Amino acid sequence: MQLLVSPSSINEARHSTAADIVDVKKPSEGSLGANFPWIIREIKSFAKKPVSAAIGDFDYKPGGASLAAYGAACAGADYVKIGLAFDGVEKANDVIDAVVKAVKDEFPEKFVVIAAYSDFERMHSISPFDMAPIAAECGADFAMVDTGIKDRQSTFAFMNEETLRSFAEKNRKLGLGTALAGALKFEDIDALKRINPEIIGVRGMVCGGDRNAVVREDLIKTALAMIR
């Protein structure tokens, strides 16, 4: 498993480079809120690690999603990540296909991450299990689960270990990697190791339990030691 850490500022990003992947997003704009391209570019300039960038929790807007994805890739993101905040298989296909094409046509080496939400029922959005086969068919690289509503409830509150393990196993059969996030805690690490996703995404875990606090390098190193 690789550890992805989501700093909230350039200064925090400088203390997050011990992580395997440094994630760029803007939490004030949503679970997968997009930050500015110049922030992506600056973090990429010093991180010396792969950089991930969220482009937003999107409604059904294939054009807007594709342009945002292209912008993130041009700004230097190695992983371009979108959340599908709507329902419908055909609509999901349109958005995922547009995002993959926008990134892969010019940057085939970069990774496209498609996220659905563990709390999809209260989000009224597509299920992760319905999203993943579409992501694979369209040529994305990772299927991700995160929480859409950030009220300190964990992904494990909506999808238990067995369900998440099934999700990861099905993704492997589809040729996809799995990324898991959503208020994950240190006490979840044993379960996460059994589920064995390729990436886990955290913030609160490495801020001492409060995602509104500051990322701590010592807690990143503790998390890395526990997942290795």
d(CA 55, CA 114): 11
CA atoms within 13 A on the CB side of 91: 12
**Which residues are catalytic, by number?**
25, 81
Inside any domain, residue 40: yes
pLDDT in tens, 41-73: 999 999 999 999 999 999 999 999 999 999 999
C-alpha to C-alpha distances, 95 to 33, 35, 62, 74, 121, nearest whole angstrom = 17, 20, 4, 19, 20
pLDDT in tens, 69-98: 999 999 999 999 999 999 999 999 999 999
Confidence of residue 210 (pLDDT cuts 50, 70, 90): confident
d(CA 43, CA 23): 9
* H helix intervals, the chain: 10-14, 37-47, 62-75, 89-104, 120-123, 128-138, 161-174, 189-195, 217-227
CATH code of the domain in which 135 resides? 3.20.20.60
Contact between 211 and 15 under an 8 Å Cβ cutoff? The reply is: no
Inside any domain, residue 200: no
SS3 160: coil
Inside any domain, residue 227: no
Q: How many domains does the chain have?
A: 1
Mean pLDDT of all residues belonging to the chain: 96
Rounded to 10°, the helix 37-47/62-75 angle is: 30
Inside any domain, residue 72: yes
**Closest by CA position to 131, among listed 98, 92, 100, 102:** 92
Inside any domain, residue 49: yes
Inside any domain, residue 85: yes
Inside any domain, residue 115: yes
Inside any domain, residue 159: yes
pLDDT in tens, 141-182: 999 999 999 888 999 999 999 999 999 999 999 999 999 999
d(CA 93, CA 140): 11
Query: In terms of residue numbers, what domain contains 11?
Result: 2-195
SS3 97: helix
